[in-house]
Amino acid sequence: MRELHRIREEMYEESKKLTPRERVNRTHKEVEEFLTSQGYRLIPSNTGYRMEFIGRC
């Protein structure tokens, strides 16, 4: 449990001075990296994005 609190504290310290737009951009980048690592990619669509499975990397 201490490890979880330490990680959350680090994440907070890294992001506390970011603007809302910077936080959104950072989150989008992290999500895209995670999806890529799981074999997916984001494809822009008219209403946002959709995910497509491209295979395990």
What is the per-residue pLDDT across 22-35, written as a single tens digit (0 to 9) for each? 999 999 899 999 99
Q: Which residue has the higher pLDDT, 57 or 19?
A: 19
pLDDT at res. 16:
93
Q: Are strands 48-53 and 40-45 parallel, antiparallel or unpaired?
A: antiparallel
pLDDT at res. 13:
94
pTM above 0.85, yes or no: no
Do residues 28 and 18 make contact, with C-beta atoms less than 8 angstroms apart?
no
Domain boundaries, the chain: 1-38
Query: Which residues does 40 contact at the CB level (< 8 Å), separation at least 6?
Result: 51, 52, 53, 54
- Bridge partner residues of 49 (DSSP): 44
Mean pLDDT for 8-34 is: 93
**In the chain, pLDDT over 90 holds for what percent of residues?**
75
